[in-house]
């Protein structure tokens, strides 16, 4: 590594140029990791925060609330299962008009009074009292306050704002809670017939899984874990797959860049490598020297790009951009970038260890 480190100091310009390209790829990879996490949070944060472990949907609904319709008969099937709590849950998207005439989008959740889905006492009181809405805190940024009235477009029902809670969002739309009866009235009018979107379940996962096999077969429902239900969020699958594909393209590009640099660098160092081998250096030593030098450039540039990405992420966080840079996924992405870069240089290893000392020395005469 002595000769490798010395060459890094002597030929700084060449290595800085390649390092800058690798750092940019690391920057983009880390930022995409934060954007992917932000998009996921913006799509399912509300569902993730609900205190439940499983959801029961109508069979064939593909974990999508708008495709699922259950009734009290489905609830009765779960009421006799020991250690499992079940609660109806209505989920729909509505538009509401403020007193000033502006329109807001709402992911409206209908929850019955006394449900475990509303563990806070103030939320329970709001659901048990007069019909109204409990909004997520994001609506406060739009100038909505407690006591304001929102008119649900379509149904033309005016509902007062009873309070705010940290509820998150679903399908990139901020969440609001209301009583299940109010939700049914808004969606079905006078023809609700006890219908709702899904059953929220809470209990021991093994107990629920064992009971689900029997109950799903009898009632025609499909019980999934809360994490599996994330896939039903609008745009969730497409967004995650798109982000993953872009990140993989960046990793492939990084491998090609590092591999091309390594091959060109090996051709330029043919005489130095030949001298080392003529002095008795083994093929393994020559390979370690080359890989060690490349590893220094690759790791250093990747770390630099990651640090810049975290700095940029700190500026972006808290804005309208759905961005959340988690340490674990970011480090995993950077580590994978280093690994693919090293894999990309394997194409040039054969050229390094295969340099003929005699031919290289003769060509220098």
DSSP string, 177-191: EEEHHHHHHHHHTT-
364 pLDDT exceeds 50? no
Q: Is the same domain home to 31 and 76?
A: no
CA distance linking residue 352 with residue 161, whole number of Å: 72
* Listed range (9-13, 39-43, 53-57, 62-66) with the worst mean pLDDT: 9-13
Q: Is the same domain home to 347 and 252?
A: yes
Q: Is the same domain home to 76 and 205?
A: yes
CA distance linking residue 350 with residue 8, whole number of Å: 22
265 pLDDT exceeds 60? yes
Q: Is the same domain home to 253 and 137?
A: no
Q: What number is the average pLDDT over the span 334-350?
A: 79
Q: What number is the average pLDDT over the span 305-314?
A: 89
- The residue range of the domain holding 174 is 60-219
Mean of the per-residue pLDDT values for the chain?
A: 84
At residue 75, the pLDDT reads 94
CB 46: neighbour CB atoms within 10 A? 25
Q: Structural domain tally of the chain?
A: 2
Question: Which residues fall within 8 angstroms of residue 288, CB to CB, at 6 or more apart?
Answer: 1
The answer to whether residue 51 is domain-embedded is no
Per-residue pLDDT band for 8 (boundaries 50, 70, 90) equals low
- Give the residue from 194, 219, 244 where a domain finishes: 219
The answer to whether residue 273 is domain-embedded is yes
Q: Is the same domain home to 195 and 73?
A: yes
Q: Is the same domain home to 64 and 208?
A: yes
Q: Is the same domain home to 79 and 22?
A: no
60 pLDDT exceeds 80? yes
Per-residue pLDDT band for 5 (boundaries 50, 70, 90) equals low
pTM of the model: 0.76
At residue 137, the pLDDT reads 87
Q: What number is the average pLDDT over the span 210-228?
A: 94
The answer to whether residue 49 is domain-embedded is no
Share of the chain above pLDDT 90, in %: 37
Q: What number is the average pLDDT over the span 303-325?
A: 83
Question: Scanning the structure block, which residue is given the tokens 């920057």?
Answer: 27
| pLDDT tens, residue by residue, 141-195 | 888 999 899 999 988 999 999 888 877 889 889 999 999 999 999 999 889 899 9
The answer to whether residue 226 is domain-embedded is no
The answer to whether residue 355 is domain-embedded is yes
Q: Is the same domain home to 67 and 208?
A: yes
| pLDDT tens, residue by residue, 97-156 | 998 889 999 999 999 988 888 766 666 666 776 788 999 988 988 889 998 999 999 889
Q: Is the same domain home to 75 and 214?
A: yes
Q: Is the same domain home to 89 and 209?
A: yes
At residue 202, the pLDDT reads 95
Q: Is the same domain home to 291 and 161?
A: no
Q: Is the same domain home to 199 and 309?
A: no
Per-residue pLDDT band for 77 (boundaries 50, 70, 90) equals very high
Q: What number is the average pLDDT over the span 330-337?
A: 86
- Give the residue from 192, 219, 246 where a domain finishes: 219
1 pLDDT exceeds 60? no
Per-residue pLDDT band for 365 (boundaries 50, 70, 90) equals very low
At residue 352, the pLDDT reads 65
Hey, which of 263-267, 278-282, 309-313 has the most confident mean pLDDT?
309-313
The answer to whether residue 155 is domain-embedded is yes
- Give the residue from 189, 219, 249 where a domain finishes: 219
360 pLDDT exceeds 80? no
The answer to whether residue 229 is domain-embedded is no
Question: Scanning the structure block, which residue is given the tokens 């220094």?
Answer: 296
The larger pLDDT score, comparing residue 259 to residue 122, is at: 259
At residue 342, the pLDDT reads 81
The larger pLDDT score, comparing residue 312 to residue 287, is at: 312
User: CA quadruple 37, 42, 43, 44: dihedral positive or negative?
Assistant: positive
| pLDDT tens, residue by residue, 285-301 | 777 777 777 788 889 99
Query: H or E stretch including 165?
Result: strand 157-165
Tell me the CA end-to-end span of the chain in Å, nearest whole number: 27
Q: Which two tokens stand for residue 41?
A: 């949070």
Find the radius of gyration of the CA atoms of the chain: 30
- Residue 47: which of 168, 130, 151, 153 has the closest Cα? 168
At residue 234, the pLDDT reads 83
The answer to whether residue 110 is domain-embedded is yes
CA distance linking residue 85 with residue 208, whole number of Å: 10
Query: H or E stretch including 202?
Result: strand 198-203
At residue 76, the pLDDT reads 94
The H helix count followed by the E strand count for the chain is 13, 10
């Amino acid at each position: 590594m002595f000769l490798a480190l010395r060459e890094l100091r002597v030929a700084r310009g060449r290595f800085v140029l390649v390092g800058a390209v690798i750092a940019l790829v690391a920057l983009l990879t880390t930022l995409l990791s934060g954007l992917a996490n932000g998009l996921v949070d913006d799509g399912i944060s509300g569902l993730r925060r609900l205190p439940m472990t499983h959801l029961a949907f109508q069979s064939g609904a593909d974990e999508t609330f708008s495709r699922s319709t259950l009734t009290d008969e489905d609830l009765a099937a779960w009421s006799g299962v020991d250690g499992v709590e079940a609660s109806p849950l209505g989920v729909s998207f509505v538009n509401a008009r403020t007193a000033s005439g502006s329109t807001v989008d709402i992911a409206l959740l209908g929850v019955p009074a006394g449900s475990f889905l509303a563990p806070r006492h103030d939320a329970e009181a709001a659901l048990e009292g007069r019909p109204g809405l409990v909004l997520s805190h994001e609506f406060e940024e739009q100038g909505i306050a407690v006591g304001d009235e929102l008119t649900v477009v379509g149904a033309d029902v005016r509902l007062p704002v009873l309070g705010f809670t940290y509820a998150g969002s679903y399908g990139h739309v901020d969440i609001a809670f209301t009583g299940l009866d109010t939700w049914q009235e808004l969606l079905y009018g006078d023809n609700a017939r006890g219908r709702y979107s899904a059953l929220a379940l809470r209990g021991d996962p093994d107990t629920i899984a064992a009971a689900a096999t029997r109950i799903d077969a009898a009632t025609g429902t499909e019980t999934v874990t809360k994490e599996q239900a994330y896939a039903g969020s609008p745009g969730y699958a497409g967004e995650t797959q798109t982000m993953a594909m872009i990140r993989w393209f960046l990793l492939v590009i990084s491998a090609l860049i590092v591999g091309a640099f390594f091959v060109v660098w090996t051709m330029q160092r043919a005489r130095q490598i030949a001298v080392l081998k003529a002095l008795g250096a083994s093929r393994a030593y020559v390979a370690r020297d080359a890989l060690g030098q490349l590893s220094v450039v690759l790791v250093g540039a990747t770390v630099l790009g990651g640090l810049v990405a975290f700095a940029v992420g700190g500026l972006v966080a808290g804005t309208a951009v759905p961005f959340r840079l988690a340490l674990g996924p970011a480090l995993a992405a950077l580590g994978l970038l280093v690994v693919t870069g090293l894999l990309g240089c394997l194409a040039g290893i054969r050229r390094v260890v295969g340099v003929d000392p005699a031919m290289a020395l003769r060509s220098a005469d």
